[in-house]
Structures are given as structure tokens and as C-alpha cells.
Structure 1
């Protein structure tokens, strides 16, 4: 029987799914936060305007939500479940846990203003 409801995943599991093309990562932080630093490949769906019906749910990929610490992604996940989404994933610990795991992120180079990979 498939998993249903809100399912927490580790940053490592989310990264593995992304690398294999098995997941779509949705960042629910605000645009300025996303612009400052983000996980490569993450799409932006800010919590302030989050609409579960706009999620790419018709695909065969897992939809994984993330934010800075998992608080807002948990709120977005609950909204999705309340709107009738059967299964939604979110990254346990959010971007903070992702960085602690030393997984790749993009951030602003203060010298150039360019978005670049950051060494952790």
C-alpha cells in the first residue's frame, strides 16, 4: 500500500530523488529568501500565495516541499492535504538541514552579485 499523508524525508533522500529525476522540489519561502540562497532546481511557490491546486501533481514525480527549517513547508504540506492531495513530502529540517548535510546550494556572490554554487 502506498504512503499517504505528509511524509518527512531527509535532505539526503530528497537529493537522491532529485538526482534520479524522481521528485520535484518546491521552495515555499519568500522570493527574497529564494533569491539569496536556494537548493539547485527548486521551484518557488511562496507560502504567502501557496495554492495546492497549482502544484505539479499530475506528474509521476514526488512533490517535495522545503523551506528554511521545515515549519513553513509543514504548513504548506498541511494545506495540500486539506485540499485533497493524497501524499506530499517535505524535507525534515529544511534548508538548514540540507546545508548541515553539506549538500549543494546556490547563493549570491557578494563580490559580483551572481548566483553561484556555494562550497559548504
Structure 2
């Protein structure tokens, strides 16, 4: 399984899931899952060492396409990773909280 639906992700998030956002910084600041670590897709392969750890890594992007690529990269590196179907757009549409603004990268 490479993907998880919004409901499953919301449940995992409520339990303290690790979340990686693979969008670009200008996208991330417009609204992201609180606590999501920004690692743009182009940097995922070189950032595996920062992501290593136990448990599943939930990977999110705008709509779910880039996150599938990133999840596959992490899986190939030996991690357990799932792409969030519907991405951040689905998260926002479901009414979940987001962080946004110029200080969102801090």
C-alpha cells in the first residue's frame, strides 16, 4: 500500500504522525498541516537521513501526486511511508486545521 485516505491520515495525525510536506516553500506558506516538515520533492532523496526513524512517515503535497513519488523514494530507502490521497487540498476541504503566512517556515 502506497497511499492512505484523508480519514486514515486524520486518525494517524491525531495520534502524532510524522508528516513530510514535499511542496515548494511558496506553496507550504499558503497553508500546511500543522507540524508538517517541509522537504521539497527535489530534496527528498538527499534528506532521507533527516527523516529516518521508526514508524510510518506520512507524505503530503498539494493533491497527492508529488507525495506518491516521494513516498516511493522513502520506501526504496527502507522507510515506511504513505502518500496522503487528496493532499493538502483534501485536508483543507475536510475542515482540518492549517498553518499559513510568512512565518510558517519558522
**Shorter-chain TM-score tier:** 0.7 to 0.9
Contact kept, 8 Å, 1:26 with 1:44, in 2: the verdict is yes
Say yes or no: does 1:54 pair with 2:49.
Answer: yes
RMSD of aligned C-alpha atoms?
2.0
Scaled by the length of structure 2, the TM-score of the pair is 0.82
Residue 102, structure 1, aligned to residue 80, structure 2: no
Aligned position for 1:13: 8
Q: CA deviation at 1:63?
A: 0.6
TM-score of the aligned structures, taking structure 1 as reference length: 0.73
The structure with more strand, counted as a fraction of residues:
1
Gaps of 5+ in 1: 116-120
Greater percentage in helix: 2
Q: Which runs of 5+ in 2 are unaligned?
A: none
Q: Which runs of 4+ in 1 moved over 4 A?
A: none
Query: Size of the alignment, in residue pairs?
Result: 103
Greater shift in the superposed pair: 8-17 or 47-56: 47-56
The structure number with the bigger radius of gyration is: 1
| 1:24 and 2:18 are equivalent in the alignment | yes
